[in-house]
Amino acid sequence: MPFFTTIPQKDTASPRDQKNLQKTHDTPFLALLLSKDSGSVIHETFNPLGYYSYSIEKPFGGMKTTYLINRKTVRRLFKERFFGFRFALTQSGLGTSGYELRIEDAPVRFPNSFMSKDLETFGKSILRPFTDQEDPLLRNLKDVPLYSWLGDTETDKATQLFCPIDGPGISILKASIRTSRSNWDGLCGREWGFRICGDCLGVLGSLPAHLKHS
């Protein structure tokens, strides 16, 4: 389901794949919850029709809260799913766990390697930069406004992919995570592809996985 081609309406209460927050792939919905002013918890209810609903207020109309979810938990889920590639790209030390990271089919970080100068130069060139010393975006994610570009007159439709942080009209890059060269030499390599925002490197949807069959 192409979640990043349709902007969730402000009153959307459920993930569009009808899964709960722990399992949903509707990352824009997680961003919508985090964009709302609220206290520390979010109310989860299970609708008799068979889907989960979420609100920053207590449910009404006979519905009961089935689970209280800490706002920090929602932010963690958003960070893992939306910024998983960026985290792997920018983490310090030898932290790529045997995977090669690519942007536009060019290797940008090799397995178990430190960040290269070329990668750091790239990191400094994007709208939301990072260096080999720090990543201000991921460190201060709780202070980054989500959907701040979405005005009251906006519709719920986007004519192209949009980013919950940087909006529509962004540059889109192709990125991937690839197993080690030895796997490919052994005919069992695999590569997972993504579309990412060129400004913040958030994942905007997956591309078909590529597998080298034995």
What DSSP letter does each residue of 85-114 carry, written as one string? HHHHHH-SSS-STT-EEEETTEEEE-TT-P
Count of Cβ atoms closer than 10 Å to residue 128 Cβ: 18
pLDDT the model gives residue 113: 86
User: How far is it, in rounded angstroms, from Cα 120 to Cα 86?
Assistant: 13
Measure the CA–CA gap between 83 and 212, rounded to whole angstroms.
27
CA 86 – CA 203 distance, rounded (Å): 9
The string of pLDDT tens digits covering residues 38-61 is: 677 888 888 777 788 888 877 766
Q: What's the maximum distance between 2 C-alpha atoms anywhere in the chain?
A: 60
The Cα–Cα gap between 166 and 159 comes to 15
* Predicted pLDDT of residue 213: 61
Answer whether residue 154 shows pLDDT above 70: no
Model confidence at 134: pLDDT above 70: yes
**To the nearest 5 percent, what fractions of the chain are helix, strand and coil?**
25, 25, 50
Q: Is the pLDDT of residue 118 over 80?
A: yes
Give me the residue label for tokens 């899964």. Answer: 19
Q: Centre a 10 Å sphere on the Cβ of residue 41 and count the other Cβ atoms it contains.
A: 16
CB neighbour class for 20 (10 Å; exposed up to 12, middle 13-18, buried from 19): middle
For residues 169 and 161, give the distance between their C-alpha atoms in angstroms, rounded to a whole number.
8
181 or 207, greater pLDDT: 207
**pLDDT mean over 182-201:** 85
pTM beyond 0.85: the answer is yes
Q: Say if CB 9 and CB 154 are below 8 A apart.
A: no
User: Which two three-digit tokens encode residue 108?
Assistant: 């940008």
Identify the band that residue 130 occupies on the pLDDT scale cut at 50, 70 and 90.
very high
Q: Dihedral sign, CA of 3, 79, 41, 34?
A: negative
Give residue 198's pLDDT.
96
The yes-or-no verdict on residue 153 having pLDDT over 60 is: no
User: How many residues are recorded in the chain?
Assistant: 214
Average confidence (pLDDT) over 52-79: 83
pLDDT at 34: 92
